Amino acid sequence: MLDVTTHARRVIEAGLGLIWVRGEITGFKAYRSGHWYFTLRDPQAQVRCVMWHTDNARLPSAPVEGMQVFVAARPTIWEERGELRLTVKQMVPTQDGGTWQVRLEQAREALRRDGLLDPARKRRLPAFPGRIAMVTSLDGAAVRDVISVLQRRWPLVTLFVLPTRVQGEGAEREICAALRRADRIPHLDLLIVGRGGGSREDLWAFNSEAVARAVAASRVPTISAVGHETDVSLTDLVADARAPTPSAAAEAAVPDREAVSGSLAALARHLAQGLTRRTAVVSQRVDRMGDRLQMNVMAVLERSSARIAQAAAGLDALSPLRVLQRGYAVARSDAGIVLKQRAQFTPGLGFRLTVTDGDVRAEVLDLPRPAGTSALSSPSPARERGQG
Amino acid sequence: MPDKAVFREELARLEAIVRRLEAEDLDLDGALELFEEGVKRLKLARELLQESELKVKRVVEAADGTLRSRDIDR
């Protein structure tokens, strides 16, 4: 006998898979183990059901006798009794939006089956996106909010708005089309899809399987921003990142320019230090060389120093620069222009000399003949000694 | 159209320069060249940060299926 029922079980399990059925709960019994046993019936038929503790633990409460429910279940054969049974995986009361809930659960299950809910799929958002697309309605505040955040935080962006209806008849289809269009924008870095807050019904398009699949298919990383506090939409689940509002999505999309300015300043410091160290190494080598050779090398070094200085003068944030500590100074006009050439000086001209620890007022006494077009005036004894 | 993703490249290059300058055994000329390039890129990156203006375009599909974008007035 067992051979027959075992075989029947295999056939049924393989042939039916997960199905959704609707019925009335009767003969409900919850065992101490936490498993639920009951019968589901409608006017035509009835079938025994079990819902294991691991599955029913997610439900807010046990169903009551006579309650109408939708269940997602796997049909099987209880081998010892040769009896058809449903192993219930999910249960949704038909009240409070039951059919919607069922559709949502079905869609979620389909997405899960295709691996689209796998956390390993989630892509990192680009650090410095240059081109961002946003699929949303032009009616709401969403676009305005995103624009104002981008403007403040990171205006190095082109925002492509792909307008679409986000609720009502045809919204799903329009959102999908807009998503596919966004995918055709060349060199796109990031896609935001969403809308401002609304009722559960208003937000429903973002629970559509088709929209979720279109989001998942995006070539570039996605942020889902469906304005809601508590519920998570299907779009949220498949997107690479989720934000509670469009503004929050924009915050997540771009860095803050203040913070980036800070790291640029740090890079500038490293740049200067890197060079200082490099020149120090060269100077030490020079010290070890013979006098005859030294003179030649000194000439090279001196020319190089002028180049360092010139480059450094362009680095406003770096002043006072390390280079200045070695006895060089930057001459600037009162207007702040770096004075690089003799032609910029006239006798009697007042200018500022920036040294290690601050500025000095200076005045041109005379313009003697020698050549030299350095941006730096250098104390001549230091020049003769070279540096190091 | 000018691609502002340029910032990312400037920054990446700048970081590479700093790394090389700190790590590699360069001769002075090489170091100077790197330094000068770094300064140039630093200035450009700063300008991008300070002077960039957000561009907003509306994308629609024309009857022939091509994508058109138009500036949005703000």
Residue A73 belongs to domain with CATH number? 2.40.50.140
Q: B46-51 long-range contacts, Cβ below 8 Å, gap at least 24?
A: B46/A261, B46/A264, B46/A317, B48/A156, B48/B4, B48/B6, B48/B7, B48/B10, B49/A156, B49/A257, B49/A260, B49/A261, B49/A264, B49/B7
Q: Determine the length of chain B.
A: 74
A235 and A265 in a single domain? The answer is no
Residue A54: predicted pLDDT: 92
Using the 3D structure, point to which of A255, A284, A315 is the last residue of a domain: A255
A225 and A311 in a single domain? The answer is no
A20 and A56 in a single domain? The answer is yes
In a domain? residue B55: yes
Q: Determine the length of chain A.
A: 388
Residue A72: predicted pLDDT: 92
Burial of A157 (0-12, 13-18, 19+ CB in 10 A): buried
Per the CB < 8 Å rule, is A264 touching B4? no
Q: How far is A257 from chain B (nearest CA, A)?
A: 7
Are the C-beta atoms of A183 and A219 separated by less than 8 Å?
Answer: yes
In a domain? residue A70: yes
Among A42-51, A97-106, A351-360, the range with the most confident prediction by mean pLDDT is: A42-51
For residue A125, the 8-state DSSP code is P
Both structure tokens of A11: 């056939």
For A223, half-sphere exposure in the C-beta direction (CA atoms, 13 angstrom radius) is 27
Residue A266: predicted pLDDT: 83
Indicate the pLDDT class of residue A178, thresholds 50, 70 and 90.
very high
A175 and A205 in a single domain? The answer is yes
More confident residue, A58 or A248: A248
Q: ipTM exceeding 0.95?
A: no
- Tell me whether strands A350-355 and A358-363 are parallel, antiparallel or unpaired: antiparallel
A207 and A309 in a single domain? The answer is no
In a domain? residue B63: yes
DSSP symbols for A348-385: T-EEEEEETTEEEEEE-----S-----SEE--HHHHHH
Least trusted range by pLDDT, from A69-73, A139-143, A340-344, B56-60: A340-344
Are the C-beta atoms of A116 and A238 separated by less than 8 Å?
Answer: yes
Average pLDDT value for residue range A135-156: 92
How far apart (Å, rounded) are the C-alpha atoms in residues A13 and A175?
37
Using the 3D structure, point to which of A239, A255, A271 is the last residue of a domain: A255
Q: Is the pLDDT of residue A216 over 90?
A: yes
Domain with B34, as residue range(s), is 6-71
Average pLDDT value for residue range A160-181: 94
Q: How far is B40 from chain A (nearest CA, A)?
A: 8
Residue A134: predicted pLDDT: 97
Cβ atoms within 10 Å of B47's Cβ, excluding its own = 11
DSSP symbols for A77-123: EETTTTEEEEEEEEEEESTTTHHHHHHHHHHHHHHHHTTTT-GGGPP
Among A278-287, A371-380, B46-55, the range with the most confident prediction by mean pLDDT is: B46-55
A219 and A329 in a single domain? The answer is no
In a domain? residue A105: no
Cβ atoms within 10 Å of B6's Cβ, excluding its own = 16
Per the CB < 8 Å rule, is A274 touching B31? yes
A242 and A330 in a single domain? The answer is no
In a domain? residue A19: yes
Distance from chain centroid for Cα A331:
45
**CA torsion sign, A278 to A284 to A285 to A291?**
positive
Asked if B49 is an interface residue toward chain A (Cβ–Cβ < 8 A), one would say yes
Please tell me the total count of domains within chain A: 3
In a domain? residue A114: no
Please tell me the total count of domains within chain B: 1
Residue A308: predicted pLDDT: 55
- Local structure of A338: helix, strand or coil: strand
The Cα-based distances of A76 to A5, A17, A272 in angstroms read 10, 9, 74
A129 and A181 in a single domain? The answer is yes
How far apart (Å, rounded) are the C-alpha atoms in residues B46 and A236?
35
In a domain? residue B62: yes
Q: Is the pLDDT of residue A299 over 80?
A: no
A245 and A313 in a single domain? The answer is no
Q: Which residues of B touch A308 (CB under 8 A)?
A: 32, 35
More confident residue, A58 or A102: A58
For residue A319, the 8-state DSSP code is P
Residue A360: predicted pLDDT: 84
Are the C-beta atoms of A121 and B4 separated by less than 8 Å?
Answer: no
- Local structure of A152: helix, strand or coil: helix
Are the C-beta atoms of A323 and B50 separated by less than 8 Å?
Answer: no
Domain with A176, as residue range(s), is 119-255
Within chain A, residue ranges assigned H as helices are 2-16, 53-56, 98-113, 142-153, 171-182, 209-216, 234-238, 246-253, 257-288, 291-313, 322-325, 380-385
In a domain? residue A331: yes
Among A327-331, A370-374, B57-61, the range with the most confident prediction by mean pLDDT is: B57-61
Task: Tell me which residue has tokens 């924008």.
Answer: A185
Nearest to A268 among B8, B42, B67 (CB): B42
B2-41 residue pLDDT tens: 444 578 888 888 888 888 877 767 777 777 788 888 888 8
Task: Tell me which residue has tokens 């320019």.
Answer: A257
Percent pLDDT > 90 in chain A is 40
Average pLDDT value for residue range A31-35: 92
Per the CB < 8 Å rule, is B61 touching A181? yes
Residue A341: predicted pLDDT: 83
Asked if B32 is an interface residue toward chain A (Cβ–Cβ < 8 A), one would say yes
Nearest to A311 among B28, B36, B56 (CB): B36
- Local structure of A180: helix, strand or coil: helix
Residue B14: predicted pLDDT: 85
Per the CB < 8 Å rule, is B31 touching A128? no
Among A274-278, A306-310, A322-326, the range with the most confident prediction by mean pLDDT is: A274-278
Contacts of A152 (CB under 8 A, 6+ apart): none
A82 and A160 in a single domain? The answer is no
Q: Which residues of A touch B70 (CB under 8 A)?
A: none
In a domain? residue B1: no
